[in-house]
């Protein structure tokens, strides 16, 4: 599975690879969105480097979803995404630990992980 963030890219084939990549991103000191692409074309994007994370999931046909935390929350979380800082609605926020479990599930299956609640984008 390909993992990318900013101008960096690596291959993630195991849980150990996943955790090593997450640690590399955390050491940058900037909360960052990481893109994981499975062989089937599905993509999971997760925020790394804060207590809370946001996730998106997209399929090759354009179907996409975002994580759903608490719909009542207002405000934004900031993550570096493709070398710029972007705002993500806090209603999408889930604990970072849950996002990492979702990444493990995605690594194992290449499918939308059940570790977090999802809401369709369209």
Q: How many CA within 13 A on the CB side of residue 113?
A: 26
Our count of domains for the chain comes to 1
Q: Report the C-alpha gap between 113 and 47 in whole angstroms.
A: 15
Question: Structure tokens of 69?
Answer: 């935390």
pLDDT higher than 90, residue 122: no
Q: What is the pTM of this model?
A: 0.95
pLDDT single digits (tens) 100-110: 999 999 999 99
Which domain range does residue 46 map to?
Answer: 2-120
Full DSSP string of 18-48: HHHHHHHHHHTTS-EEEEEE-TTS-EEEEEE
Q: How many CA within 13 A on the CB side of residue 107?
A: 19
């Amino acid at each position: 599975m390909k993992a990318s963030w900013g101008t960096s890219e690596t291959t993630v084939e195991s849980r150990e690879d996943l955790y090593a990549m997450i640690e590399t991103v955390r050491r940058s000191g900037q909360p960052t969105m990481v893109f994981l692409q499975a062989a089937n074309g599905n993509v999971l994007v997760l925020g790394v480097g804060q207590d809370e994370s946001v996730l998106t999931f997209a399929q090759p046909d354009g179907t996409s979803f975002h994580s759903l935390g608490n719909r009542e929350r207002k405000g934004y979380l900031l993550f570096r995404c493709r070398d710029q800082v972007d705002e993500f609605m806090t209603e999408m926020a889930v604990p970072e630990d849950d996002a990492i479990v979702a990444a493990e599930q995605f690594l194992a299956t290449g499918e939308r992980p059940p570790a977090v609640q999802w809401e369709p984008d369209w």
